[in-house]
Chains A and B, each alone.
Chain A
Amino acid sequence: MTDLAFLALATVTVTSSILALEARDLVYGAAALGIAFLGMAGLFFLLDASYVGAFQIAVYIGAVVVLILFTVMLVGPQLGEPPLELKRLSLLAATLLSLLLGTAGAVSSASAFPGPDNCGSGCDLVGLSSTLINQYGVQLEFLSLVLAAAVIGALTLAKTERKAE
Chain B
Amino acid sequence: MVNPIIDLLTSTYFLEIAVFPGLLSIAILGALLGWMERKLTARVQLRVGPLYASPAGGILQMFADIIKLLFKELTIPDGADRFFFIMSPVTALIIGAALLGLIPFAPGIQIANIEVGLPVFLAIVTLSPTIVLLAGWSANSKFPFIGGLRALFQQTAYEIPLWLSTLGVVIVTGTLSLTGIIEYQQNRGWLIVPQLLGAFLFLVTSTAEMERLPFDLPEAESEIMMGWQAEYPGPLFMLAQGPAFVKLYAFSALFTTIYLGGYLGPAPIPPIVWFFIKTIIIIALIMLFRSTFPRVRLDQLLRQGWTTLLTLSIANIIIAYFLVVGIPVI
Contact = CB atoms under 8 A, between A and B. Distances in A.
A73 B136 CA distance: 11
B134 A54 contact: no
Interface of chain A, main secondary structure: helix
A51 B133 contact: no
A27 B134 contact: yes
Contacts of B123: 53-55, 57-58, 62
A50 B117 CA distance: 9
B127 interface: yes
B133 A69 contact: yes
Contact of A50 (B114, B127, B129, B130): B114
A57 B137 contact: no
A62 B126 CA distance: 5
Contacts of B159: 62
Contacts of A136: none
Interface string A16-36: 000000000001000100100
A34 B130 contact: yes
A50 B134 CA distance: 27
A51 B130 contact: no
Nearest to B149: A73
A70 B152 CA distance: 8
A27 B116 contact: no
Contacts of A54: 116, 119-120, 122-123
A50 B176 CA distance: 11
Given A50-B114, A126-B174, A58 B152 contact: no
A66 B130 contact: yes
Interface of A: 27, 31, 34, 50-51, 53-55, 57-58, 61-63, 65-66, 69-70, 73, 77, 125-126
Interface of B: 81, 84, 114-116, 119-120, 122-124, 126-127, 129-130, 133-134, 137, 145, 148-149, 152, 155, 159, 163, 174, 176
